[in-house]
Structures are given as structure tokens and as C-alpha cells.
Amino acid sequence: MPNINIADKRGRDAVVKAESVRIEDPVRYLGPRGNASYTRRILKSTIDHDHDALSKEADSPEALAVALTESDPDIDVERFGQFLFHTSRVWIGSDDEPVFSIKQLEEIRNPLGEITETRDRERVEPNVDGDIPLSWTGTLIPRREAIRRYVFASKLQIVHVNGLTYDFLHGMAKELDKAKSLLLLGAGKSGKDPLVFRRGSVPYRGFLEGRTRGDSYVLLLHLSNMELKLPVDPDATPVDAS
């Protein structure tokens, strides 16, 4: 649950909490007799049993095929099928050995999938809980318009941490509820930067929505990194760059 340093219309700021509103998977699976079931990660193969390793050992593809049918060199019956716990993710080189020093590049592609630039990887620093609070930009977008302009992929509920911040956030929610609008929040000195929650994570535009019901309130931070609009060429299919 991240902290958020946020300022109101008057420029007063406070550090409050942002809670997840995601609902956990509503489906669970039971075993055949109604007992609980659990998922386990299982070993299927290791790097010294993959196609490249076996090909090196065999003289030819034909010899490998014969070995596969006669002696199952691709299967280690002692180990395959064992449960895996506490695994780590590592980088390996073309020799299948771990690599301890890497450099990363970003290959930029346009909407048609064409490479436009290659550069060193940039990792943006978090900016939601620093010395500079998220600023109240004053840009209000009516709810009706907001859902037709932006795709809100994620959201966080801003909540108070004590009595003082309750008054502070309730006041913001009340004002936004009255306006029936979402407020654009900006980060950084300029107050225009997108919001970054963790180093190198996706930057999002933040839109604050408020609702009140008596003494209770909802202050929702809607996060968007995409507009609801047609592509430049709606018929074009971009190259998958995943």
C-alpha cells in the first residue's frame, strides 16, 4: 500500500495511503472429495536436457531421434516432476551459463511495428511519495467526458491515516463530487509529470474522483496510460513486440 503525498486546491499537502481496490480471484477449486486444492510449480525440464544440449551430445539429428525413442535422454526421472520452491530469475548467455553483468537497451517501435530508435534503457524514478506533492492542477474533466476520452486501467482508493487527513481528504472528495468531474493530478516540480509508483514501473496519468455520502467519502485515483481513440490507421496490425 503506497504512500501518496498529495496537495489540495489551497496547496496544503499531506501524506496519505493509497489502497488497492482489486477483488481477489472469486473462484477457488476443490479436489474430487471436496477437499482443498493448491497449485504447485513443477519441474518439467532443465537446460541440460533441452534440444540444444541434446543435439550437441548426438552426432546427428537422426541419432538424436533414435536416442529419444530408445533411451529418453530428454527425461531425468529422478528430478522431473519435483515441486519447485524459492526459485530465482537469472539471465543466461548464448552458452547457457548465467550472466552477472548485463546492459539493457530499449527498442522503440512506432504503431506499425517499425523500429524508430534504439537507446539505453531508462528507468523512471517514483514520484508519488517524495518531497514534492502531487499537485491539484485545476483541470477538471466531467465524468461523462472522462470515460469517453481515457481508458482507466487501474485505480487506487486514497484513504486517510488520522483525523486531520480525514478532514483533508473529505474536503477534496466533497469538492470533486460537487463538480461531478475528475481532477487531473500531476507530479514533479512542473506539476505536469505522469505518476510513477515504483522505479522503472509504468507511468500513469492520474485522475482523482470524489464522492461523499454524509460523513463518509470515496476518493478514487483513476490511472490511465491510454486514450480512448481510434488508431492512426485502424486497419493496420502492429507487430507484436512483446
Partner 1 sequence: MARHLTFEHAGNEFEAELAKVSREHLYGSVRILTRDANDGRCTTATLASDGRTLIPKGGTALGYVNTEGDWITRDELQPMSLAGEPLSEVPSSFDAPILLDETVDETTLLDHSVRLCYRLVVDGELPALFRKALDKDSIFRFGFSYRGGIGHDPAFVYASEEALWMLVTDANDVRFVSLEQAALCGTSSIDDETDDDSENEDGLDFGML
Helix (H/G/I), strand (E/B), else coil: 208: strand
Q: Min. distance of Cβ 64 from partner 1 in angstroms?
A: 17
Report the amino acid identity of residue 145: E
Segment (H or E) for 85: none
Q: List strand residue ranges (DSSP E) for 113-204, in order.
A: 115-120, 135-142, 150-159, 181-186
Q: Min. distance of Cβ 189 from partner 1 in angstroms?
A: 16
5 vs 225, beta carbon nearer partner 1: 225
55 vs 201, beta carbon nearer partner 1: 201
**Among the listed residues 94, 92, 93, 116, the one whose alpha carbon sits nearest the alpha carbon of residue 106:** 116
Q: Min. distance of Cβ 148 from partner 1 in angstroms?
A: 4
7 vs 173, beta carbon nearer partner 1: 173
10 vs 121, beta carbon nearer partner 1: 121
Q: Min. distance of Cβ 29 from partner 1 in angstroms?
A: 4
**Among the listed residues 108, 110, 101, 112, the one whose alpha carbon sits nearest the alpha carbon of residue 122:** 108
Rounded CA separation 92/242 (Å): 19
